[in-house]
Structure 1
Amino acid sequence: MTDTRLRHAVAGRTILLTGTSCAVTDAAARHLSRAGARVLVATHPAHRSTGEVWVYRADPAAPATMRVLAEQLLDEHDRLDIVIHTAGTPPKQPSARNSRHPINTHYVGPTTLIRGLLPALRDDGSAQLINVSPAHLRLPLPARWGGHRASKAAFDTWFRGLARKARGRGVTTTSVYTGLVGTDVVTLICDAITLRPRQIAPWWLKSGRAIGH
């Protein structure tokens, strides 16, 4: 991925970044803004985004709030060219909250938002949906992280299932799986935008039987 190629891919386009990986969201927002994109960030109310971006605050654990956010985005922006969802990393300790919280945060909330945004995606073949997830979501789950990781794996499964419907509307979907030590996630996101593959993943995940749309 070169800066010139990225500028050609995103200059003047409207890109929405959402999800629970705040550090990745902020870094990607800055990079894409410098490349000439009009960047919107949907973030948790407690997070303070940086950079020259449009910021929308909504709690992903409240699906009704995500539905309102989708309506607001549709009202304020006549189109979206790229929507990028980034899943955060697991906490250091298992959550003491009930299972409904991670399910709403990582599955119900994000799917509600993206379903609401589909009408705003251009249907001329140029629009793209990108989901960024840790590759371990495609591997067996340790029991103590079951609720947290299973909710993210559910979104990943839903997103891959959305691919056929999206392609029918002229929308490209890309699943990005991070898993290599030292991998720059922002570079992977930029590669997804410029190359538009169905999947970017570590070699060991690509060789698994469960891979593919």
Structure 2
Amino acid sequence: MVDIFAFSPTTVLLCVAVLVLLWLLTRRPSGLPPGPPLLPFVGNVLSMGSDPRITFKKLRQQYGDIFCVYIFHKPLIVLNGYSTLKDAIVKNADVFSDRPHSLLNDFLAKRKGLIATSGDLWREQRRFTLNTLREFGAGRNIMEDKIHEEISQFLEAFETERGQGFDCKRLVQNAISNIVCSTIFGKRFEYSDPRH
């Protein structure tokens, strides 16, 4: 039998400190949804498997529609089910509209633009973008008319090939470019135009 009093006080203190540190690293903060047990430093990364969807499906059966997993030291809250998602995205959109801090958003994109911002700045930029796109005809029949016009030109260009085999990739790219150009610049280019 091992006598714990045979160990030096420093060794016992070090073991207690390590146990407390491991407990702190594997403890879930209060207020977070339930989830699987954590490993120190890696969280739940090692238990994710090759397809996280399968893992999340199993975790949903065990913990319900809302659960939390840790990717290294970052908590990831997973929402499942139509009613849960509707409550979060539709009924509580203001609460769930913020983007999490990440290296990509904070340092590379500097939390600017529609993709990297969140909160009031995101709402302001989204409103500006939608208003600007509406001025160019997005969401109105003007855009639909431009698309129909380009489709008729596209079909005419197809008919000029007279059933011969050809690579239609360039025609498709030109048609898409023409829709964009006619929306932004008010001008389309002929398919034979060398500038196209």
> What is the TM-score when the length of structure 1 is the normalising length?
0.25
Q: Which has more helix, going by share of residues?
A: 2
Question: Relative contact order: is structure 1 or structure 2 higher (C-alpha 8 Å, sep ≥ 6)?
Answer: 1
Q: Which has more strand, going by share of residues?
A: 1
